Amino acid sequence: MKTVRVCAAILENDNGEIWCAQRGYGEFRGLYEFPGGKLEPGESPRQALLREIREELDCEIQVEDFFMKAEYDYPSFHLDMDCYLCRFVTSPHLLEHLDGRFVPKSRLMDLPWIPADVQIAKRLLETR
């Protein structure tokens, strides 16, 4: 099975709320995700996050600490996702998503998540 390496930004504000982005395209359109994407050849996860967030949300972020590795087996590939705690430096603008908003950690599981991102949301509930 093919492995796809991606990275995701867990964007937290000063109130401890987490940015949740509703996917606007593809098989999982309408479900929520932590924004990010595939690593390009020779790119580190941190570099990929900065690029992907510029492409998806037209803004700058600060990549802080590694949070977790999430892995998930989809029918046609294995997803290997490095997740980093991040903060917005500039305000986001939705370019690829239907919705994007800060949600209190206690309400994360109220959203319909893309399968691989469920484990991240659950882990966030266990922290801080």
Give the domain range for residue 106.
3-126
List Cα–Cα distances, 24 to 15, 20, 76, 103, in angstroms.
27, 13, 21, 18
**Percentage of the chain lying above the pLDDT 90 cut:** 97
Structurally, how many domains does the chain consist of? 1
C-beta of residue 114 within 8 angstroms of C-beta of residue 32: yes
pLDDT in tens, 113-125: 999 999 999 999 9
pLDDT in tens, 61-100: 999 999 999 999 999 999 999 999 999 999 999 999 999 9
Say whether 43 sits in a helix, a strand or coil: coil
Q: What pLDDT does residue 50 have?
A: 97
pTM here is 0.94
Question: In CATH, what number is assigned to the domain containing residue 20?
Answer: 3.90.79.10
